[in-house]
Amino acid sequence: MSSVYIVEEHYIPYSVAKKLLTDVIRSGGSSNLLQRTYDYLNSVEKCDAESAQKVIEELSNIVSREDVRAILASICPTTSDEVRSILVMDTNKTYTSEDIQKIIDIIRKYIKS
């Protein structure tokens, strides 16, 4: 029996989680729960894993919290109200209308049409 050690922990967007699950399923590690999780992530994915990573990188100049960036890259909100409803989680910063528009512009660059 091999041991598994957690070296780092990070918040990741849905599409990155889906890519990781795809790798696990392809390597033979499938179960009903993994398949259902994969199907769910596939149904809500709004951009591919590479695009989601780019969204997170570009958002790092505006949003400091990793969890908030991951949620934004997962949900891909495209209106100011949607973005504000996520940013409310970050109680340490007040976001300007300009910040919110930048977030929307970044997301729109990478979202599936």
Residue 5 lies in a domain: no
Residue 1 lies in a domain: no
69 and 56 Cβ atoms separated by less than 8 Å: yes
pLDDT of amino acid 7? 87
Helix (H) or strand (E) holding 75: helix 66-75
Residue 60 lies in a domain: yes
Residue 30 lies in a domain: yes
Task: Write out the residue range of the structural domain in which residue 74 sits.
Answer: 10-113
Report the domain count for the chain: 1
Is the per-residue pLDDT at 39 higher than 70? yes
Task: Report CA dihedral (80, 84, 86, 92) to the nearest 10 degrees.
Answer: 140
Residue 31 lies in a domain: yes
Q: Model's pTM, two decimal places?
A: 0.88
Lowest-confidence region among 27-36, 59-68, 100-109: 27-36
Is the per-residue pLDDT at 2 higher than 80? no
pLDDT cut 90: percent of the chain above it = 86
Residue 33 lies in a domain: yes
The CATH number for 53's domain is 1.20.1250.40
Residue 40 lies in a domain: yes
d(CA 89, CA 102): 18
**Residues 6+ away with beta carbon under 8 Å from 111:** 46, 47, 51, 76, 78
Residue 76 lies in a domain: yes
